[in-house]
Amino acid sequence: MLTSHDADAFPGLLTRDGARWHYLDSAATAQKPNAVIDAVTRALGPDYATVHRGLYARSADMTMAYEAARRQVAALIGGAEHELVFTRGATEAINLVAQSWAVANLKPGDRILLSMLEHHSNIVPWQLIRATTGAVIDVCPLTQDGQIDLDAAQAMLTPAHKLVAFSHVSNVLGGVLDVARAVALAHGVGAKILIDGCQAVARVPVDVAAMGCDFYVFSAHKLYGPTGIGALWARGDLLDAMPPWQGGGSMIDRVTFAETTWAPAPQRFEAGTPAIAEAIGFGVAADWVRGKGLAAIHAHESALVAQAREALGRLNAVRLYGPAASAGIVSFTIDGVHPHDLGTILDEENVAIRAGHHCAQPLMAHLNVPATARASFALYSDQTDIAALVRGIERTLRIFA
């Protein structure tokens, strides 16, 4: 039961009057299981103390829990704990790579390859780097069904390209990147490759060692964890060579007015008091997802995507976007109905979707629409959510007719 205190219960899936809330906005942020909520509550309450500084027992215990969370999160993606930096989210993780690695390594005329479907967080930081370093940004087109066109990427890449930055799973279209091929293409011209894994880590198995990428970024809150924290995984040799991008406490070795020396990675990139309780919740969420099995989660969400696309495809006014085999995400429009109006009417039916440009305005321009409606699934989603979505759309069509 959703009202139980079982570790698998999601109290956020109930309305204030106790009714079922059909939450179909998990691509924006996932609801939290009690296991995560309880861990954060304990960390903020009876277990709370600072980390890395205190000489008293509770501080030492909290430091151990904080670093255990780093191991838990690294294990989720097959990485080593010394290669994982806690950040405020994937956005900060990308900016960290941009302001540290890119500033140190790019020069005028170097090139960066992005794709048409990238989230703004994987576009804007590179535009700032373009202004700073004189690097050039190229944009890889999409296939007809909305995947990153790796054949086109292969034709575009040259030795002048120093970085490729692609989404593992599109937050709008749900397509899954062939990361192994993308890595091979980037490395084939001597470029580094960053993968935005925000939509992937909660949906598909990830193994950074097997994929061979150089940087991998993701956020906790899309992984059934807290907001305000995420991670950058980077190859150890790259991380060790990167200069710090923020200064403060915790990231130093020794400070004098003459000079400062830095702590080793990953601490070098974690200036100031960290998000302690959030990190612990992040670790619990990572373990919770690992316990459920990402292959099983992906199979569950893929089945729901297939059912949703079939049901929506039977409605003549609905236009679907993206590949049929998407990872937990279905984007669509309805003839004569703005997605914002649809979202408002669905809310009256206890159905929550996302409507807008999804922080992917270049992709919206490519699709020739101002916005789409997006239904996104999670482990807690089921067929009743699809049925409620279809009922709400049918009501919307009657209203607008």
SS3 labels along 67-99: HHHHHHHHHHCCCCHHHEEEECCHHHHHHHHHH
* pLDDT given at position 14: 92
CA distances from 327 to 62, 100, 177, 322 (A): 36, 32, 10, 10
- Is-contact 170 40, C-beta < 8 A? no
DSSP string covering 340-400: HHHHHHHHHTTEE-EEE-TT-HHHHHHHT-S-EEEEE--TT--HHHHHHHHHHHHHHHHHH
Q: Which residue ranges form the domains of the chain, and what is each CATH number?
A: 11-31+294-400 (3.90.1150.10), 40-291 (3.40.640.10)
Averages of pLDDT over runs of 10 residues in the chain (401 residues) are 58 91 98 97 96 89 96 98 97 98 98 98 98 98 97 98 98 97 98 98 97 98 98 97 92 91 93 96 98 97 98 96 95 97 96 96 96 98 97 96 80
* pLDDT given at position 401: 80
* pLDDT given at position 53: 78
Q: Is 213 a catalytic residue?
A: no
Catalytic residue among 140, 198, 213, 359: 359
* pLDDT given at position 130: 98
The whole model's pTM is what?
A: 0.96
